[in-house]
Structure 1
Amino acid sequence: MTEVLPSRTTEPVELAIGGMTCAACAARVERKLNKLDGVAATVNYATEHATVTLTAPVPMARLIAQVEGAGYTAREIERGDRADGRDRLRSLWRRLVVALLAGVPLADLSITLALVPSLRFPGWQWVLLALTLPVVTWCAWPFHAKALRAARHGTGSMDTLVSLGIIAAAGWSIYTMFGRSGGAHAQGVWGLILQPAGSSYLDVAAGVTIFVLAGRMFEARAKHTAGTALRALAEMGARDVVVLGDDGAEHRVPIARLRVGDRFVVRPGDTVATDGVVVSGACAVDTSAMTGESVPVEVMAGDAVVGGTVALGGRLVVRAEKVGADTQLAQLVRLVERAQSDKAAVQRLADRIAGVFVPVVIALAVATLGGWLLGGVPVERAVSCGLAVLIIACPCALGLATPTALLVASGRGAQLGVFIKGHQALESARAIDTVVLDKTGTVTTGRMAVAGIQVADGVSRATVLGHAGAVENASEHGVARAIADLARAELGTLADVEDFRALSGLGVRGRVGGQEVRVGTVRLMRAEGVAIPDALEQTRADWEARGRTTVAVAIGDEVAGVLALADTVRPGAADAVAELHALGLRTVMLTGDNAATARAVAAEIGIGEVIAEVLPADKADVIARLRADGRTVAMVGDGVNDGPALAGADLGMALVTGTDVAVGACDLILMRTDLAVVPAAVRLARATLKTIRGNLRWAFGYNIAALPLAAAGLLNPLIAAAAMALSSLFVVSNSLRLRHFEHSGEARARG
């Protein structure tokens, strides 16, 4: 029975595409897939993957058949299936070794016989031919095979150019050696530079094969190296796990058998098998592989742990909350893979150009040959010019310019705790001039603690704390947890609450012991018509002037007390803001908290502009207003109330400690709690875009400059082959420099 894939938009199908050799191939596969109804595909030449988003049910066999119809191979990529290209590297290496063993003596002998014709011996042509044939047949077979496959489908690729060049050079050489009086040879060094070995191009055929094989091998090795960070990320997970049975017995089982709700044991030095909650035990956990933070995190019963982190000491018993593809590690791996399959608008333009490049180059080569012949030059010189045009024109550099840079950047970003969702995030990061930071949970730790309680005359502290704690116990807000935790610590058990209701941005309300209880901001009290006694109002104002958050507690129709809560600023927040300013960015604090508290926190870390007391629904309006004023805005947040603002900003950055809504709405996911990751993300994005622009300038400039030189007869075909291989190697090597990117925190630590 044919498997019919359901339509989906959040989990695209991933296909491994075989046989692609240039951007033209990727463009061709992409066009073929997108011709299917309900299919939106993106094909990445650097990763050799196709990401297919389905808007209607499509059989997997239909997708594969469509790719094969374009002359390539395809297979579905299962989770965890990440080929690293070692087999291809070994095959290229074997062919390159044989080509070198035969090609080097061929070149030496051919040049020697060209310079000193008197050294020719009987049967010298056969010796040259014997050295050439293994190179232009077996060693060059991958080029010929792919060119034939493309020709059967009426298309062409970079291999078409290479194969035609090799065949033309070898064929013309055989004809001149055996059909033109033994083959006249041009003499002199200049003749060798412009027209090597005179009218014999056997060394050119072998040289082209060697240079292209070498270029492909170095390109494959560089791509393998570029993907090291992603493979390391994917391999961080545990292979097996010690599950704790109901009888307390321990059983080691493969990780695939772990289920949600299972309890498993983590011993010192073990990798935490999956996302879960600590049931018992306490120890320090090394989260550096996931977040880039070097300081271990202490965890104990009730704390959440993430799969892929490492326990440093002590024994933990953890209850599995997420397994398999639902874990944070698996989601982040898919996120990086998805980002590496993304394309910039400029790269799509390059792909379209590469798609028509091959037929244009073939036509140019034929025109060059004809033009030189019509100009009355010798046939040998005309053939040399036509060959140079065929060989020099390599669209590989165009296809590699963007994806290799993104491949390296996304892997390096993952090591630093910055996960890039797509290329659009990088393009947005280039232009941002304003960074808007949420306060609670972003600039501050978000772990509020009650710093003071003031009660009205005739009301006890226990009454205020008990009623407030009972209502807040039903809420998950940081302020609510702080009040409920203190009430539980001082009073023990908390009363039940009825008719609980959260009032977004204002507070909560409910009934405790038959009394209406409201806990929230002054705005809530005023909206409800509840007056605050003067003494409490004065205390509240003093607390807020000192940067504390205050909430009022109304029991019935009277305010019975006010509570002050303090939230500590994240370590390094001031340094991060200073670095953002050094990057030329304007910073703004956006918060629903009161203005005095927000200004106090902003002053502590160096932010001069504060927009406070903003309701969650209005945060997106603030972002829209900033953009309407001509600013290009990045938003950094972590909560549910930040989701619309993150989605509405030009660049959304969410702390992974935040909610799923915030993470889902952002463009960059920040794994570190240290805010230094924010300027690091901006700097990485800018460095990546600079690399991409440099790659594309080189790729376009190389072809624009090289083709006229080749057509004018100023490029030896052998030099053209070397230049073509070096062009792609330059682009990949330039992208690999991003592996050494480091953020300021790393630089300071190293210094």
Structure 2
Amino acid sequence: MTTAPTKQEYRLQNLSCASCAAKFEKNVKAIPEVQDAQVNFGASKITVIGKVDVNQIEEAGAFDGIKVSQSPKSTIEKSTPFYKKTENILAGIALLFVILGYVLVTMRGETDPFAIGMFIVAILVGGVGIFKTGFRNLARFEFDMKTLMTIAVIGAAIIGEWEEAAVVVFLFAVSEALEAYSMDKARQSIRQLMDIAPSTATIKRAHGEHFHEMEVPTEEIEIGDILIVKPGQKIAMDGIVVSGLSAVNQAAITGESIPVNKTIDDEVFAGTLNEEGALEVRVTKRVEDTTIAKIIHLVEEAQAEKAPSQQFVDRFAKYYTPAIMIVALLVAVIPPLFIGDWQHWIYQGLAVLVVGCPCALVVSTPVAIVTAIGNAARQGVLIKGGIHLEQLGHIEAVAFDKTGTLTKGKPEVTDIYTQSNMSEDTVLQLVAAVEKQSQHPLAKAILTALHEKGLAEFEPTNFQSVTGKGAFATVEGKKVSVGSLKWISTLTSVDEVIKEQVDQLQAQGKTVVAAVSDTQLIGIIGIADQLRKESKSVLQNLTALKVKHTVMLTGDAKLTAEAIATSLNMSDVRAGLLPAEKLTAIKELRMQYGAVAMVGDGVNDAPALASASVGIAMGGAGTDAALETADIALMGDDLTKLPYTIGLSRKTLRIIQENIIFALALKLIALLLVIPGWLTLWIAIFADMGATLLVVFNSLRLITTKKYS
């Protein structure tokens, strides 16, 4: 019997650039014991299949100073502060020698051996890491930025351009440091997610007949343990409240800004903040299975999945680098064959090498995707891949399920009409007393209305259910019957006024319950699944975002669906649909509009969600089906996050396009300076560094996106 190969995740530090990540992955795959490896640049981790240790992996990343740790899934290595990194300290020392060199040039002239000596020291100190990698790459015929820089600096030194060689080395070190800092900033979104849940917790565990309190790491907490959560503490594990009452701030998981009241039998999530009372929580999931752990895993996997624009850029960069090297060679050789001045044109060729580096282009897409997905996660929206983020930006139509999406998903009492001079409250009390024993969903709506009004409960006796019609019981000494009007009409006469009221309620899509006390009709109650208060504004915001069409797809009755659609000003409503018919409707919409999003509950709407260009599930927190079936999950069951997410995706697309234009335009402008022979190594490095920083800082604008735009 063969055992499955070992699969292990490792956290990475000092993973500085996308091309370095690709090279690191290639090196790890070359280790004999490794069957496969995948680097996730955005999340700064690597997944390795095979039996290897940390030292072997670190050796594969030695060219970039990559540090590897096999840390638990719930934690992440803290990054080294900017000013403590060795390469940044060396860059600072190199700058000191460059300044000393320029001082000596000013005092003694450019040919002064001491001045040249200062520049050489600056080159050696600032470029030690660059040259190590560059020479190793040259030996293997691998060409990345450090290889190009090594060739350029050596070439500049050979033709006596010591000053520029030293300045270029320093500026390149600064560029690398700023790029690493910016990527670290983008990755903080994941780091913040990982820091949400505490690493230890106080639990109550049974020992024989007694319970003992103890503080343990979350990895050691078992299902069934009782978690003790004091006011002001974060909840460490997912579970069910077994004792206590408190308000819990769930913003970290669901994006809800208002705390949610929790009492016995309510579900709570790891990483949420207990605000007021003390709670005891029975743990229902292990630390690696909690909702926050799943979110972190899915966010990291989302960043590993390449968006279409990133795939295009990667393919483009693959051919772009060799093309630039050929151009540089031609610039260095062709002009001097005709007009002489070899030194000048070799210098121009070296500058072309530097300016042609594809760093900015390669980083243009991943940094935007990483930042956007991290931002969305903090806002309670889980996007499961760059491809879905990008696709959402192209959406032309949005299809909504009705129940639980546009509506609250639970029936509520909306109207009470009375007869026989009986008050609304008394009718509600009598009907609730009968419904107290019923399992019907409408019964819960009536009891909820009674409790919301703070009315006393009457106790029923002799309760009996009449299948398909209603129920009756003795309440306050009278036989009270509750059910459909058709059945109630067989027990007593119903006047025309009541019949008209019933017709009006049914025309509004409401279900009507009638009640009789002995043989006297006492009233009717209208019940409906209420519209979410935000539904109308969400549809208006989608129109403002240039979404061409919105449609309701529901399995509910036509009358009910049309009543909801009318209140929302929706012209396209398709009712009475089975899951297979919803699927057909989505296919028709895709043929008509191209990219279509479907918003549903993630369970009943699974076929339609899967068929849509982007499937969006409501209420992902604690709902495994929603997390697994949808491309995007609105964790807090908050429909207002839909326009925000579409706005974020469109802003991300816009920024990616800007990034690619920035990266290529700056390079092109710098390369055009070759024609009059004005391109210098300084301009080359500034063009490369400028393009990279423009791209990164432009992408970081996505961190601040909080509403639809």
TM more than 0.5: yes
SS at 2:201 equivalent: strand
Q: Find the partner of 1:106 among 79, 101, 107.
A: 101
Q: Does the alignment pair 1:737 with 2:696?
A: no
Instruction: Pick one of 636, 644, 653 that aligns with 2:607.
Output: 644
Summarize the Cα distance change of 1:405–1:92 in structure 2 as closer, same or farther, 3 Å threshold. same
1:624 aligns with 2:587: yes
Say if 2:637 is the partner of 1:673. Answer: yes
Residue 707 (1) aligns with residue 707 (2): no
Deviation at 1:94, TM superposition (A): 0.2
Q: Quote the offset at 1:104 in angstroms.
A: 2.3
1:320 aligns with 2:283: yes
Aligned partner letter, 1:702: L
- Using the alignment, how far apart are the partners of 2:562 and 2:120 within structure 1? 78
Cα distance, 1:47–1:255 mapped onto 2, change above 3 Å: closer
Matches within 5 A, 1:54-65: 58-61=49-52
CA distance in 2, matches of 1:62, 1:480: 61
- 1:728 maps to 2:689: no
Paired residue for 1:82?
Answer: 76
**Residue matched to 2:420:** none
Is 2:536 the partner of 1:588? no
* Cα pair 2:202 2:215 within 8 Å, conserved: yes
Alpha carbons of structure 1 residues 492 and 242: separation in structure 2 relative to 1, 3 Å: farther
Distance 1:100 1:266, change over 3 A: same
Could you say which residue in structure 1 is the equivalent of 2:203? 243
Q: Which moved more, 1:423-432 or 1:599-608?
A: 599-608
Shift of 1:336: 1.7
Distance 1:642 1:251 in 2: 44
- Residues in 1 aligned to 2:302 and 2:334: alpha-carbon distance in whole angstroms: 47
Q: How does 1:561-576 map to 2 (within 5 A)?
A: 565-576=527-538
SS for the counterpart of 1:5 is coil
Deviation at 1:427, TM superposition (A): 1.9
Equivalent position SS for 2:309: helix
Counterpart CA distance in 1 for 2:194 and 2:513 is 45
Superposition pairs for residues 676-695 of structure 1, below 5 Å? 676-695=640-659
Code of the residue aligned with 1:59 in structure 2: it is G
CA distance in 1, matches of 2:351, 2:643: 47
CA distance, structure 2, for counterparts of residue 576 and residue 646 of structure 1: 20
For structure 2, the residue ranges without an aligned partner over 5 or more in a row are: 418-429, 452-456, 471-483, 515-523
For residues 54-81 of structure 1, what are the alpha-carbon distances to aligned partners after superposition, in whole Å with 9 as ceiling and x for unaligned? xxxx424399979977986685754135
Counterpart position of 2:682: 718
Q: Quote the offset at 1:546 in angstroms.
A: 2.6
1:228 pairs with one of 184, 188, 196: 188
Separation in 1, partners of 2:67, 2:21 = 12
Give the structure-1-normalised TM-score: 0.77
- SS of 2:530's equivalent in the other structure is coil
1:259 and 2:236 are equivalent in the alignment: no
1:731 counterpart letter in structure 2: V
Partners of 1:494 and 1:706 lie apart in 2 by 91
CA distance in 1, matches of 2:89, 2:28: 34
Name the CA shift for 1:631/1:335 in 2 (closer, same or farther; >3 Å). same
SS state of the match for residue 375, structure 1? Answer: helix
Matches within 5 A, 1:20-419: 22-28=17-23, 43-45=39-41, 47-50=43-46, 58-61=49-52, 75=68, 78=71, 79-86=73-80, 90-110=85-105, 112=106, 119-120=108-109, 125-173=112-160, 201-246=161-206, 247-419=210-382
Aligned partners of 1:571 and 1:674 also within 8 Å? no
Describe the SS at the equivalent of 1:599: helix
The TM-score with structure 2 as length reference comes to 0.81
Deviation string 1:196-252 (CA, Å, 9 cap, x unpaired) is xxxxx1111111111111111111111122222221111010122121244354322
Distance 2:469 2:183 in 1: 60
Q: 1:45 to 1:325 in 2, by over 3 A?
A: closer
Q: d(CA) in 2 for partners of 1:373 and 1:638?
A: 70
CA contact (8 A) 1:451 1:565 kept: yes
Q: Distance between the aligned counterparts of 1:216 and 1:43, measured in 2?
A: 20
Q: Is the 8 A contact 1:46 1:400 kept in 2?
A: no
Q: CA deviation at 1:619?
A: 2.0
Instruction: Tell me how far 1:601 sits from its aligned partner.
Output: 2.4
Moved more, 67-76 or 661-670: 67-76
Q: Which amino acid aligns with 1:687?
A: K
1:21 and 1:157 in contact (8 A); partners too: no
What's the CA shift string for 1:92-126, capped at 9, x where partnerless?
3202211111112324544x47xxxxx549xx532
Distance 1:618 1:637, change over 3 A: same
Calculate the aligned-residue CA RMSD, in Å: 4.0
Which amino acid is the alignment partner of residue 268 of structure 2? Answer: V
**8 A Cα contact 1:274 1:322, kept in partner:** yes
Deviation at 1:356, TM superposition (A): 3.8
Q: Is the 8 A contact 1:46 1:399 kept in 2?
A: no
Q: Which residue of 2 aligns with 1:178?
A: none
Change (3 A) 1:279 1:339: same
Equivalent in the alignment of 1:544: 506
Q: Contact 2:14 / 2:180 at 8 angstroms: preserved in 1? A: no
Contact kept, 8 Å, 2:434 with 2:460, in 1: the verdict is: no
Work out whether residues 24 and 60 of structure 2, in 8 Å CA contact, stay in contact via their aligned partners in 1. no
Contact 1:453 1:461 (C-alpha < 8 Å) held by counterparts: no
Stretch deviating more after TM superposition (620-629 or 87-96): 87-96
- The AA in structure 1 aligned to 2:5 is L
How many percent of aligned residue pairs carry the same amino acid? 31
Of residues 729-738 and 359-368 in structure 1, the stretch that sits farther from structure 2 once superposed is 359-368
Displacement of 1:735 in angstroms is 0.5
**C-alpha displacement at 1:600, in angstroms?**
2.4
Q: CA deviation at 1:328?
A: 0.7
Identify which of 438, 441, 445 aligns with 2:401. 438
Whether the 8 Å contact between 1:286 and 1:309 is mirrored in structure 2 is yes
| Alpha-carbon offset, residue 375 of structure 1 | 2.5
Aligned-partner residue type, residue 308 of structure 2: A
Q: Helix, strand or coil for the counterpart of 2:52?
A: helix
Look up the equivalent residue of 2:163 and give its one-letter code: D
Q: Distance in 1 between matches of 2:642 and 2:56?
A: 45
CA–CA distance in structure 2, aligned partners of residues 303 and 542 of structure 1: 38
Amino acid across the alignment from 1:80: S
1:180: which partner in 2?
none
**In the TM superposition, what whole-angstrom CA distance separates every residue of 1:305-324 from its partner, at most 9, and x where no partner exists?**
11111111011111111121
Secondary structure in 2 matching 1:270: coil
Q: Which residues of structure 1 form unaligned runs of 5+?
A: 8-12, 53-57, 114-118, 174-200, 455-459, 473-477, 496-511, 520-529, 553-561
The secondary structure found in structure 2 opposite 1:675 is: coil
Opposite residue 239 of structure 1, the aligned amino acid is S
CA separation in 2, counterparts of 1:330 and 1:494? Answer: 51
Indicate conservation of the 8 Å contact 2:232/2:276, yes or no. yes
Q: Give the Cα–Cα distance (whole angstroms) in 1 for the partners of residues 300 and 6 of structure 2.
A: 21
Kindly indicate whether the alpha-carbon contact (under 8 Å) linking 1:384 and 1:713 is maintained by their aligned counterparts in 2.
no
Shift of 1:715: 0.9
